[in-house]
Structure 1
Amino acid sequence: MTPYLIDTTLRDGEQAPGVVFSKNEKMHIASMLDELGVNEVEIGTPAISNDEKLIIKDIASQGFSYKTSSWCRANLHDIKEATSLNTTSINISLPVSNIQIETLAKSKDWVLTELKKTTKYAANYFNHVTVGAQDATRADINFLKEYIYFAQESGANRVRIADTVGISSPLDIQALFLDLTDSFPTMEFEFHGHNDLGMGTANAITAYKSGAKCLSATVNGLGERAGNSVLEELIAYFIYKENNTSYNSKIISKLCKYVAYNSRVKLATNKPLIGKKVYTHESGIHTSAIIKNRASYQFINPLDFGQKNPGFCFGKHSGRASINHFFSEKNLSIDDYKMQKILNVVKQHSTSLKRSLNEMDLMQIYFDH
């Protein structure tokens, strides 16, 4: 089964507190997502404003290679507004867990009535309709199946199973999707994960392995609370573990940094794939092995994701191999005595400064000792 990746950075990603993308920024992100090779982009929520509608319509009209969708409440007015925006499809959503239904002061009968009414209405205007099951991972399984049944009967092409509060684990997701895909073999399922327990990406991969063809995610995992399943991590998984060569992964670094800068949400230095330090090594055991074979401690190639390969840094945990390698590349001679002396100074300086040392620091130590 080939994965179908849906990016929702422009919709769910922008729902992160304080994040606002301008029209030009959204257009640029949309363009890079086209270069990356995602299958679908959820552009935004028409009900937000007239400006949002114009942005959705503009992006949907660009002729990008991916399909486009907008997100709507299960509301006939919202759906009608979305019909004029030229998106390929629409995503309408309703809560399915007891806690969320009760919070709205509604009933399960109300949910099913609104589901049938709005799905049938949307199917008259869109060739493709996705129905979202909000908080599906906390729903009663029998009611969730009833919801899916009526969504299918009313014309839905896809059902989005949302782990809305990020409460699930991979084993939970596996059991859920094996059950749902067995019960509804002709329905296309999508998984929409959040990262509250740090398992958003793992849950998405598990959902895919358990029958969910479609996965939605955001660049950098941007989103409410702890964010969403992470788009670039999913792509890296499919590249390295599924031998999928359909993505232009070299644009990922540029895309992630652009989204981080314009969302004003900083990237952690140890963020998988694109963090500043994820391809830098200090430990003596690691550096000694990497000099012989980089794959010994780093199977990911940073060049695959548009990143540079910074190599080693020097500090408290350094060993002789990385020091010798550094000076050999500089064509500077160094005997065993000087090697050990420099290594001792490196460890002392790094400990007192509480940081690693850079190349200029190392050169200064070389000439001072």
Structure 2
Amino acid sequence: MAHAARHIEIMDTTLRDGEQTSGVSFSPQEKLTIAQLLLTELNVDRIEIASARVSEGELEAVKAITTWAKANDLLDRIEVLTFVDGDVSIQWMKEAGAKVMNLLTKGSLNHLTHQLRKKPEQHFEEVAAVIALGRKNGLDCNVYLEDWSNGMRHSREYVFQYLDFLQHQPVKRIMLPDTLGILIPSEVTEYIGAIVQRYPGLHFDFHAHNDYDLGTANVLEGVKAGAHGIHLTVNGMGERAGNAPLASAVAVLNDFLPSVKTSVNEASLYRVSKLVETFSGVRIPANKPVVGENVFTQTAGIHADGDKKNNLYFSDLMPERFARQRKYALGKTSGKANIENNLAQLGIQLSEADLKLVTQRIIELGDRKEVVTQADLPYIIADILDSKAIQEKVRIEDYVLTHAKSLHPSVAVKVSIDGELFEEHAQGDGQYDAFMNALKKVYKRQKLELPTLVDYAVRIPPGGKTDALCETVITWAAHNKEFKTRGLDSDQTVSAIKATQKMLNLI
């Protein structure tokens, strides 16, 4: 008889631990938006949104989240880090409207002795007093054992002494952080296994950091060893090397531990990841698993050829799971299959001889380190084959870019659409923004809608030359599909305008 899969609680701490990423500070509205998406779209079990007593802005952010959560019956899934400070954190929690406190306590004798300069019994007594006071004020309590991993390595007797005490306290969860990200998977297995076996009636969360790039591996081992919950962050944000990443950990658990299940909606991982990237200003590495730009892109021609032959290079990690698409990159390692896949998406067919010529040109461009996008293919074909079939129906005929101190940048633009001329003027936050605003006016007159600009990447060759060619690659989204266009010019705004003209002809 098959056993029901064991549910693993996912606690996302992007808004608390993740915000400790150097240079990151979310606004109250950004925090509210992320919290809403985490709970309603991604459907994580719980979120840790702040530390008590940090700032007035933090208090306002927590108030906004708890007000929304209370109205939607989600308040018990909102958690805040608190401290052993008498009633100070508790009063802050009450003012903020939060109901679940995650009490930070000492999980190693080294921290207790040298940071607090206290004996175990004294620390336990103070912890018990805060827990009791929290309960009296209607708060639920979870307890963090800070530096627990070093505690298990060097003072295991203290850890067990503390857990013996905590098992008699009214706490919901005991949270075991690898605070400095020092553990290897075999230690996670040993330490969590020993604790779960010794205290079968308690709920344990595992909180992994990624200092040795072992965060996801340690999460897998922690769950296998019996952890009931895991703490993760979107994009692996967090102090130093960050925390265990949400997308990777969820994918690994779903694929390699059929005996467990999570509530997370995989199809929303990428969307939430990109939103957090925008709000945080921290770019997602192109090769980051699950959510990186390149992780579902085949570059080698032999791989694209294998995909056509019984999906030889497919795995369980399929892009459709995460509302993404497989792509085939164009460059010096591109083979005929890569280019055929891109041409098919554009609705273009070539003879074998012409395909060979186009392939050779793309390889040459790749050798020169030029980025080739799918949108460049029609122009490459026209250049090689001198084809009259590929026409520019939209042309940016003329424009004037104005930028002056203390004035908004402005643009006057003349556009030809199917031979008909249109002129518009607009202002913007920058010259390119002003250009796009003017272009939107033109298309609005035509009752047409422009794609959404998703990403804007600029590449300037190193060396300090002021006349160096600037390559701008813009990612657009339209009709649930993304595509890229590229422009090349010595002026960055002009290169972006060239990329935009390609987009206008593609749509």
| 1:286 counterpart residue number | 303
The separation in 2 between residues aligned to 1:343 and 1:83, in whole angstroms, is 66
| 1:59 counterpart residue number | 65
The Cα of 1:114 is off from its aligned counterpart by 2.6
| 2:136 counterpart residue number | 124
Identity of aligned residues (%): 27
The Cα of 1:179 is off from its aligned counterpart by 0.2
Unpaired runs of 5+ residues, structure 2, are 1-5, 386-507
SS in 2 for 1:47: coil
| 2:123 counterpart residue number | 111
The separation in 1 between residues aligned to 2:177 and 2:194, in whole angstroms, is 15
Amino acid at match of 1:317: T
The Cα of 1:112 is off from its aligned counterpart by 2.8
Q: Using the TM superposition, name which of 109-118 and 40-49 deviates more.
A: 109-118
The separation in 2 between residues aligned to 1:54 and 1:346, in whole angstroms, is 54
SS in 2 for 1:72: strand
The separation in 1 between residues aligned to 2:356 and 2:57, in whole angstroms, is 65
The separation in 2 between residues aligned to 1:222 and 1:194, in whole angstroms, is 10
| 1:304 counterpart residue number | 321
Higher RCO (CA < 8 A, seq sep 6+):
1
The separation in 2 between residues aligned to 1:23 and 1:87, in whole angstroms, is 15
| 1:263 counterpart residue number | 280
Q: Using the TM superposition, name which of 252-261 and 30-39 deviates more.
A: 252-261
The structure with the greater share of residues assigned to helix is 1
Which aligned pairs between 1:140-159 and structure 2 lie closer than 5 A?
A: 140-159=155-174
- Say if 1:158 and 1:246 are closer, same or farther in 2 by CA, change over 3 A: closer
User: Quick one: which of 274, 277, 280 aligns to 2:291?
Assistant: 274
The separation in 2 between residues aligned to 1:247 and 1:293, in whole angstroms, is 31
Q: Using the TM superposition, name which of 358-367 and 250-259 deviates more.
A: 358-367
| 2:242 counterpart residue number | 227
Amino acid at match of 2:364: Q
Give me the TM-score of the superposition, normalised by structure 2.
Answer: 0.67
Which aligned pairs between 1:1-369 and structure 2 lie closer than 5 A?
A: 1-34=6-39, 35-62=41-68, 63=72, 65=74, 67-76=77-86, 77-109=88-120, 110-126=122-138, 128-139=140-151, 140-242=155-257, 244=261, 246-294=263-311, 296-307=313-324, 309-327=325-343, 330-335=347-352, 337-353=353-369, 355-367=370-382, 368=384
Q: Kindly indicate whether the alpha-carbon contact (under 8 Å) linking 1:44 and 1:52 is maintained by their aligned counterparts in 2.
A: yes
SS in 2 for 1:269: coil
SS in 1 for 2:79: strand
Q: Kindly indicate whether the alpha-carbon contact (under 8 Å) linking 2:334 and 2:359 is maintained by their aligned counterparts in 1.
A: yes
Give me the TM-score of the superposition, normalised by structure 1.
Answer: 0.90
The separation in 1 between residues aligned to 2:176 and 2:238, in whole angstroms, is 17
The Cα of 1:160 is off from its aligned counterpart by 0.5
The Cα of 1:295 is off from its aligned counterpart by 6.9
Q: Using the TM superposition, name which of 4-13 and 297-306 deviates more.
A: 297-306
The separation in 2 between residues aligned to 1:108 and 1:229, in whole angstroms, is 32
Amino acid at match of 2:80: S
Q: How many residues align?
A: 366
Q: Kindly indicate whether the alpha-carbon contact (under 8 Å) linking 1:313 and 1:356 is maintained by their aligned counterparts in 2.
A: no
The separation in 2 between residues aligned to 1:322 and 1:188, in whole angstroms, is 50
- Say if 1:54 and 1:251 are closer, same or farther in 2 by CA, change over 3 A: same
Unpaired runs of 5+ residues, structure 1, are none
Q: What is the Cα-based RMSD across aligned positions, in Å?
A: 2.3
| 2:403 counterpart residue number | none
The separation in 1 between residues aligned to 2:348 and 2:167, in whole angstroms, is 69
Amino acid at match of 2:160: K
Q: Using the TM superposition, name which of 295-304 and 19-28 deviates more.
A: 295-304
CA deviations over 1:2-32 (Å, ceiling 9, x no partner) = 0101111111111222211111111111110
The Cα of 1:99 is off from its aligned counterpart by 3.8
Q: Kindly indicate whether the alpha-carbon contact (under 8 Å) linking 1:163 and 1:193 is maintained by their aligned counterparts in 2.
A: yes
Bigger radius of gyration: 2
The Cα of 1:94 is off from its aligned counterpart by 1.5
CA deviations over 1:154-190 (Å, ceiling 9, x no partner) = 3222110000011111111111110000111111001
The Cα of 1:143 is off from its aligned counterpart by 0.8
